[in-house]
Amino acid sequence: MIILVRHGEATHHTEHLTGGWTDSELTAAGKVQLQAVASKLAKDFAGQSRDLRILTSDLKRAEESARIIAARLGISKLEPYEFLREKNNGQAAGLTETAAKALYQQPPTLKELHHRNYPGGETRQEFYDRNVQGLIKCADLERENLLIVAHKGTIQNIIFHWLGLDIAAVNVLNFSVDILPSSVTVLGINKWREHAVFRLNDTSHLHTDSGYGIFEFKYGKYH
């Protein structure tokens, strides 16, 4: 089982800074969003004795989000990793969106995999490889229960990999998924040994008091 949580609203959203490796923090609203996530996850995990690793991007907005969830679930250990960061925006990190425009290097097309939008930044291919290769080295995706707190692009890359798509295939298929702030996505192996997406971009915690139904899905025997 893999639970993917995007960090909540962050100061780069409200202060009109670039995202990427800008080390922004949660806003007051972002903290409320993550408390709602944590409360709903706690309903799912109540009475469960399953081991759960919490992995997080080491950027402040993600680590802070992960700490909120971990505290509510009674888990003391967090595992922060640089490989879970958002796409590296190089020299644009920390700049306003207006200032970053002066550094932006327009790609020839919207389908470039080896283009750097900003000096010192990553290409789309490098970003995907960093996320996926780091995660494969760090965890057994099919046998461990993981809660990963990260960023929109990172979560998208993990989902693509889970579906068996490398970034070139994603490009050819013209495929994407939306991942909103504080959203929850649940992946797992089902009883037919298939890679399943049980929930995608779920923000129902902002509207209801029930759990996500995480343990109602038809997982295989490892979960």
Report the candidate in 104, 101, 99 with the shortest Cα–Cα distance to residue 120. 104
Q: Hey, how many other C-beta atoms are within 10 angstroms of the C-beta on 210?
A: 10
Distance CA 98, CA 85 (A): 23
Cα gap 126→129, rounded to integer Å: 5
Q: Is 207 labeled as catalytic in the residue annotation?
A: no
Is 61 annotated as a binding-site member?
Answer: yes
Residue of 9, 63, 64, 86 marked catalytic = 86
Structure tokens given for 37: 């996530």
Contact present, 3 and 69 (Cβ < 8 Å): no
Cα separation values, 2 from 56, 96, 133, 187, Å: 13, 34, 16, 5
Are residues 145 and 52 in contact, defined by beta-carbon separation less than 8 angstroms? yes
CB 171 within 8 A of CB 87: no
Look up 97 and say whether it is catalytic. no
SS3 97: helix
CB 170 within 8 A of CB 111: no
Taking the alpha carbons at both ends of the chain, their separation in whole angstroms is 6
The radius of gyration computed from the CA coordinates of the chain, to the nearest angstrom, equals: 17
Q: Which residues are annotated as a binding site?
A: 61
Q: Which residues are annotated as a binding site for substrate?
A: 61
- For the annotated catalytic residues, the residue numbers are 7, 86
